[in-house]
């Protein structure tokens, strides 16, 4: 999923505002530091997710190339998804 900086900022603000509104967390009146901390976590998550996707695609391409003719008819999307799931598990990354 590609998210713009503005979308991530809006998401961070909405989450922090809702947590404060529901009294789920204790925050100072200025929520901006909490929003910025959450924004940093969201950015890190989506960057790691993008890296995971790139790695899975690269590995799938290598696998299909190595398979040669035996790789004909294999669904690349399925291979990428399976590799991505395995990489996520190995890295302790939540999908």
Q: What is the pLDDT of residue 41?
A: 96
The number of folded domains in the chain is 1
Is the separation of the CB atoms in 8 and 43 below 8 Å?
yes
Residue 36, CB half-sphere, CA atoms under 13 Å: how many? 4
Q: Which helix (H) or strand (E) holds 19?
A: helix 5-21
Given pLDDT bands bounded at 50, 70 and 90, which one contains residue 2? Answer: low
Query: Model-level pTM?
Result: 0.79
Domain that holds residue 59: 5-91
Label residue 16 exposed, middle or buried (CB < 10 Å: 0-12, 13-18, 19+).
buried
């Amino acid at each position: 999923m590609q998210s713009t900086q503005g979308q991530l900022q809006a998401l961070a603000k909405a989450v922090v505002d809702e947590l404060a509104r529901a009294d789920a967390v204790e925050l100072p009146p200025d929520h901006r530091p909490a929003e910025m901390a959450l924004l940093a976590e969201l950015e890190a998550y989506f960057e790691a997710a993008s890296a995971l996707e790139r790695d899975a695609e690269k590995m799938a391409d290598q696998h299909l190339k190595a398979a040669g003719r035996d790789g004909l008819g294999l669904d690349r999307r399925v291979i990428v998804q399976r590799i991505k799931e395995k990489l996520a598990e190995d890295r302790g990354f939540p999908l």
